[in-house]
Amino acid sequence: MEKLTDLTVTQFTDVLASNAPAPGGGSVAALFGACGAALGVMTANLTIGKKKYADLWENAEAMKTLGTPLIGAFLQAVDEDTLAFNRLMDAMHLPKDTDEQKSIRREAMENATKDAASMPFHTLTLCEKTVSVLEQLTGKINPNCASDFGVGAASVQAAARGAWLNVNINLQSVSDEAFVKELFDRAKALYDDVSARAEALFARVDESCRPACNQTEG
C-alpha cells in the first residue's frame, strides 16, 4: 500500500472521506500532532537568526532539536495507525469453520485489537512530548508567530482528543480485562494531563492575539 504520508493533501482528504474504513480518526489524530510539532518548530525557526531575539536563540535551537523528530514520529504514526487497523481486518477475515480455526481467529483478533489500541496510545505519548516543547517555547518566540504557536497548541489538543477516542474504541473490543484497565488508566492520565496543558497554552495565546479594543473582553 502507498504510504498515506506520500499522498497529496487533497488525496489524503479524498481517501479519508471515502467508504474505506481506513484511514480514519486515528491517522487524522497523528496528522494533527505532526502539524502541532511543525508549528512549534516553525516558531523556533522564525526566532533563530533574528537579531532582535538573540537572547532567545539558544532555547529556540534546543526546542527545534526536540521538536523536529516529533514531526517524523507523528507522520509514522499516521501510517502505522492505519496498518494496525488493516491487520485487525485481516484477522477478522480468518476462516472460522472449525473450532480450532475459531480459536486461532479469536486470538489473532484479540492481539490485533490490543495493537490497534496501543497505536493511538503511542500518539498520546508524542502529544505529551510536543506540549512540553510548546511550553518551553512559551514567551520565548518571535511575537509575530503568536497565532501560529496558538494553532500549534490547538493542534496538539485535537491530536490528543483523537488519539484518546481511538484508544477507547479499540479497548471496547479487547477481552483481556487487566489489559483494558491498565491501558485505559494510563491513557486517561496522559490525556487529562495533555488536555489541560494544551488548553492553558491556547487560552494564553487567545487572550494575547485579540485586537487592542477587545483584549479585556471574555
Q: Which of 117, 116, 124 is CA-nearest to residue 84?
A: 116
Q: How far is the CB of 31 from its own copies (least distance, A)?
A: 7
135/176 with CB nearer its own copies: 176
Q: How far is the CB of 217 from its own copies (least distance, A)?
A: 8
Place of cell 497523528: 30
Contacts with 9 (C-beta within 8 Å, 6 or more apart), sequence order: none
Q: Which of 133, 141, 129 is CA-nearest to residue 208?
A: 141
Q: How far is the CB of 69 from its own copies (least distance, A)?
A: 11
2/97 with CB nearer its own copies: 2
32/121 with CB nearer its own copies: 32
Distance between CA 29 and CA 157 in Å, rounded? 10
16/104 with CB nearer its own copies: 16
Measured CA angle at 124 (ends 140, 7), to 5 deg: 90
Distance between CA 120 and CA 18 in Å, rounded? 22
Q: How far is the CB of 17 from its own copies (least distance, A)?
A: 4
